[in-house]
């Protein structure tokens, strides 16, 4: 079990933003943004950088921008995330509302958007003491249920009701995902990995037919959610929408099941959910609950779990390569190359089971 991180920290030295330039741009665009804010940084993010802008008297906003250094084409898309969050909240109130978007890199060095601040508990790796520290089966069960139930609730949202009917290209989504993540792995790798090459080929050759399309989050997991301080079974916010699109809903389920480790599985560097604590549903129980809540047939979910594991390996590799090339100095990422390789091995193990 790892140490519970504080929600915010002082801004890391190499990730500072020019507050003066920011305030010049924000002037007149954001209600209450007429004084210089106190700026801190949310501690948990491993890719996009997220900052708290505190203007005092409870007037707070959240700013998000891409990570330092080059990013993969189509990833860390602040314009897409703003577009989604500027309208999704109407049909899915757990999505924070985004207010303004800036595509002028001269302001803080990258595109960014500013959204509303939500208050809640983000559970990452360890269950906080407020919910029993991982030793309370009832709380752990609620944490596992809220992940699955909120995903089914989101997938039930009609894209047109959310103002997102034209978001993405649902036809051919899964094939594009598999080939796209194989290309991303190749672009980010620092050494050859024949097993990754074999897995990407297997994923293409065994791809199942997709169920009807839904809105997708594309990075669904417990630490991209916040729950109520009073009840871990109540979601108050869902974050990280920069990959939101329309496509195969089982791709979302496969992503979260990829980090839903059962007893006996060796976690990688990306281990955001306390899935082996007493009371937490097993992966099979969670899949069954999703199928019951959503009405989506999940017989082929094994393939999606393998793909989700492969995709997460690619995410870690993309983060690691920026550290490896000196594009970020965040030492948290030094072990992510090893973590990515471990996820490739785990994807292969899950393929064979």
Q: Residue 28 corresponds to which tokens in the numbers above?
A: 């007149």
Q: Is the distance from CB of 130 to CB of 121 less than 8 angstroms?
A: yes
Q: How far apart are CA 140 and CA 279, in angstroms?
A: 5
pTM of the model: 0.91
pLDDT at 1: 39
CA distances from 16 to 39, 274, 329 (A): 9, 32, 13
HSE-CB at 21 with a 13 A cutoff on CA atoms is 12
Residue 90, classed as helix, strand or coil, is helix
DSSP string, 201-262: HHHHHTPPPP-S-EEE-SS--GGGEEE-SS-TT-EEEE---TT-EEE-HHHHHHHHHHT-PP
pLDDT at 6: 77
Query: Which domains are assigned to the chain?
Result: 8-116 (3.30.200.20), 129-352 (3.90.1200.10)
pLDDT at 71: 65
pLDDT at 2: 40
If 0-12 CB within 10 Å is exposed, 13-18 middle and 19+ buried, where does residue 315 land? buried
pLDDT at 270: 64
Reading phi first (left if > 0) and then psi (alpha if -120 to 50, else beta), residue 158 is in beta
Q: Is the distance from CB of 218 to CB of 244 less than 8 angstroms?
A: yes
Helix 194-205 with 336-352: angle, nearest 10 deg:
40
pLDDT at 154: 98
pLDDT along the chain (353 residues), means of 10: 68 92 93 91 82 93 87 76 98 98 95 96 93 97 98 98 96 95 92 94 96 96 96 97 96 96 77 88 98 96 97 91 86 88 94 91
Q: E strands along the chain, which residues?
A: 8-9, 38-42, 49-54, 60-65, 98-102, 112-116, 214-216, 225-227, 235-238, 245-247
CA distances from 89 to 93, 113, 162, 249, 329 (A): 4, 16, 7, 19, 35
pLDDT at 184: 93
* Site of tokens 């699955």: 148
């Amino acid at each position: 079990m790892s140490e519970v991180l504080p929600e915010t920290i002082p801004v890391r030295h190499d990730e500072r933003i020019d507050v003066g330039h920011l305030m010049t741009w924000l002037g007149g665009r954001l209600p209450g943004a007429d004084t210089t804010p106190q700026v801190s940084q949310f501690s948990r993010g491993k890719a996009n950088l997220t900052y708290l802008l505190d203007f005092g008297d409870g007037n707070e906003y959240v700013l998000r921008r891409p990570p330092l250094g080059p990013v993969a084409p189509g990833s860390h898309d602040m314009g897409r995330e703003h577009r989604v969050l500027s309208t999704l909240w109407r049909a899915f109130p757990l999505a924070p509302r985004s207010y303004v978007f800036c595509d002028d890199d001269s302001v803080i060095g990258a595109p960014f958007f500013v959204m509303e601040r939500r208050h809640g508990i983000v559970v990452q790796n360890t269950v906080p003491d407020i919910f029993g520290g991982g030793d309370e089966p009832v709380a752990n069960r609620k944490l596992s249920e809220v992940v699955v139930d909120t995903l089914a609730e989101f997938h039930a949202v009609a894209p047109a009701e959310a103002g997102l009917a034209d978001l993405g290209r649902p036809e051919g989504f899964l094939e594009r995902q598999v080939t796209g993540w194989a290309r991303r792995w190749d672009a980010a790798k620092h050494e050859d990995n024949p097993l990754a090459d074999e897995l990407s080929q297997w994923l293409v050759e065994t791809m199942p037919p997709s169920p009807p399309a839904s809105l997708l989050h594309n990075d669904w997991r417990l630490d991209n959610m916040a729950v109520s301080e009073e009840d871990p079974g109540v979601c108050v916010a869902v974050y990280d929408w920069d990959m939101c699109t329309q496509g195969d809903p089982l791709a979302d389920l496969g992503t979260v099941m990829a980090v839903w480790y059962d007893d006996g599985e060796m976690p990688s560097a990306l281990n955001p959910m306390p899935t082996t604590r007493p009371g937490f549903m097993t992966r099979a129980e969670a899949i069954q609950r999703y199928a019951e809540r959503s009405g989506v047939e999940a017989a082929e979910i094994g393939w999606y779990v393998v793909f989700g594991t492969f995709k997460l390996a690619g995410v870690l590799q993309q983060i690691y390569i920026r550290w490896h090339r000196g594009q970020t100095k965040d030492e948290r990422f030094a072990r992510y190359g090893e973590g990515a390789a471990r996820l490739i091995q785990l994807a292969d193990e899950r393929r064979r089971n």
